Amino acid sequence: MAKMKAVEAAVLVLAREGISVAFGVPGAAINPLYAALRKVGSIRHILARHVEGASHMADGYTRARPGNIGVCIGTSGPAGTDMITGLYTAAADSVPILCITGQAPRAKLHKEDFQAVDIEATAKTVAKWAVCVREPALVPTVFQQAFHVMRSGRPGPVLIDLPIDVQMAEIEFDIDLYEPLPVYQPTASRKQAERALAMLNASERPLIVAGGGVINADASALLVAFAELTGIPVIPTLMGWGSIPDDHDLMAGMVGLQTAHRYGNATFLESDFVLGIGNRWANRHTGSIEVYTKGRKFVHVDIEPTQIGRVFGPDLGIVSDAKAALALFIDVAREMKAAGTLRTRDAWAASCLHRKETMLRRSDFDNVPLKPQRVYAEMNGNLDHDTCYVSTIGLSQIGAAQFLHVYKPRHWINCGQAGPLGWTLPAALGVRADDPHKKIVALSGDYDFQFLIEELAVGAQHKLPYLHIVVNNAYLGLIRQAQRGFQMDFEVSLAFENINAKPDGDSVPGYGVDHVAVAEGLGCKAIRVKRPSEFKAAFAQAQKLMDEFQVPVVMECILERVTNIAMGSEINNVQEFEEILCLDPELAKKNEAEKTKKLEPLGTH
């Protein structure tokens, strides 16, 4: 055993648990931890400009690769409260991140000391576990327990609060004897798998709904193998997008009120059986439960026992890690196929594929200012299948989900449930910190981009290049569209005449913030696109700038002020505001009717 400061033991544990990158902001109450990081030397630190930004960097880092855990570090008081949004976002999407805060000395707790806040109590509502360590000898085992909690069962974030005198105290610790605690994951039983497959086999038009739990479990390859073995089409949720490639014949589209495909909703409404794996029946996926469940049976597989029956009671619920369940399902399906009892689904799969090929939305608009649909079409045409997209909330994200294509797991990185504005930029930096070679494209509306725009300086300082596409309509677009239900357009415009706009320059009159100037002022490069003819050269220039300068490159696309994106109140009542590509004559009569449906008020952000 060796004598060392408790905080040095903490850093050694972090390294032993596989941590090689941390994001944070130093300060008085956490400086002992920073001294230990400097002394141990094996963990890279990326200095954020805002602690909330650091927490989203940690979140993006975790989502980038199986097994990653992002670490966010901050001083006491406001740094801890700044992390709350990051903790909530991570918890909502089952993402393990570790937040570490400095704290006032133990003798000053609950005495209103400078920047002392009960962050343990504050964080408990949004973290999987939150703890203030009051005994120095507990520090290494608390960190050990933190990793066990983050990884076991449904993953989630943890906050550890360290009083400064606890950090500085000497303890006995030997890292050579340290071992991570075993991770617990529930597993489906053989009988449960057999029952699920029997129910699936008895149906006529079955679907698999693949949620984010499939990607969290690194089970995408098993999902595709199971779908191919059984011939059953797959509906990925927004969090499960990429678990099956978009161009796979059994990828049947996404379902929902907003981030959905026309063909996905149509196929779901034709189904009679749904096997949900690693999903939580989110309300923007389901709409009303009455419409979603009518006429079909459900099996629900989830790692978290309290998710089974939380939204509606399935016909069969199975508590299991998605990877373990899919492995069992494949074993049972193979035995059924060998015995000649596994039904084929060729006609059903063919009908789903036909809808996918014909029920499309138009994107080839030549308008100036740009329609957002054209931006996504150009992204599809100029970016390859290896592109990793990062996005958060708003019409930009909804339009992206309707028009973009994702071909690999963890190539659509999106905060699905919480949807905090500002998440996209720091999350993209976290993804880049994980992999210096990944092709990363972030997508933001102008308001999301402005929320934590200062984090661009982090990308410039630490050489974290990626492409950030900003679709600028100078509006809170999703809120504006939702306000249609209240017959108003109130306090959602971001437009103003910028007094610094140069009449003979490239700025856009009336669109307010000059994102190109701000990005360049923060040490990055930026391009503005106003016309469809400019896209090809802009993408080529962006790549050249990233390669040459190794900084983020912003591509601002000037949109028309108002574009309503397809959405609705039910999965069978989605309003199409723009022209629909009709590649099947039998669908032609339905298109005009869909344009005239009334849009009911929706919840927004």
How many C-beta atoms lie closer than 10 Å to residue 35's C-beta?
17
**Residue 526 DSSP symbol:** E
Spell out a b/e string for 472-511, using b for 16 or more CB atoms within 10 Å of the CB, else e. Answer: bbbbbbbbbbbbeeeeeeeebebbeebeebeeeeebbeeb
For the record, the structure tokens of 481 come out as 């569209």
Q: Find tokens 């930004």 and name the residue.
A: 53
Q: Which of 11, 12, 13, 25 is catalytic?
A: 25
What DSSP line would sit under 323-363, residue for residue?
HHHHHHHHHHHHHHHHTT-SPP-HHHHHHHHHHHHHEEE--
Cα–Cα distance for residue pair 26/30, rounded to 1 Å? 6
For the record, the structure tokens of 345 come out as 């689904």
Q: Which of 383, 425, 458, 476 is catalytic?
A: 476
Beta-strand relationship, 440-445 and 388-391: parallel
Catalytic residue flag (residue 421): yes
Q: Tell me the C-alpha to C-alpha distance, in Å, between residue 538 and each of 40, 167, 244, 535.
A: 44, 50, 30, 5
For residue 586, the SS3 value is helix
Q: Which of 149, 421, 441, 452 is catalytic?
A: 421
For the record, the structure tokens of 445 come out as 């509306």
φ/ψ of residue 586, rounded to 5: -65, -20
Contact (CB, 8 A) for 467 and 534: no
Catalytic residue flag (residue 197): no
Q: What angle do CA 523, 525, 530 make, to 5 degrees?
A: 140
φ/ψ of residue 171, rounded to 5: -135, 170
CA torsion 255→66→524→456, rounded to 10°?
Answer: 80
For the record, the structure tokens of 209 come out as 């709904």
Q: Which of 11, 19, 33, 51 is catalytic?
A: 51
φ/ψ of residue 571, rounded to 5: -70, -15
How many C-beta atoms lie closer than 10 Å to residue 361's C-beta?
20
Q: Tell me the C-alpha to C-alpha distance, in Å, between residue 62 and each of 66, 150, 179, 216, 410.
A: 8, 11, 22, 10, 10
Beta-strand relationship, 273-277 and 206-210: parallel
Residue 369, preceding bond cis, omega within 30 degrees? yes
CA atoms in the 13 A half-sphere facing the CB of 175 = 17
Contact (CB, 8 A) for 63 and 410: yes
Contact (CB, 8 A) for 356 and 573: no
Beta-strand relationship, 129-132 and 158-163: parallel
Catalytic residue flag (residue 51): yes
How many C-beta atoms lie closer than 10 Å to residue 134's C-beta?
15
For residue 370, the SS3 value is strand
Write the single-letter amino acid at 45: H
φ/ψ of residue 562, rounded to 5: -125, 120
Smallest Cα–Cα separation from 535: which of 402, 381, 373, 363? 381
Cα–Cα distance for residue pair 512/580, rounded to 1 Å? 32
Q: Which of 308, 360, 479, 518 is catalytic?
A: 479
- Active-site positions read 25, 51, 421, 476, 479
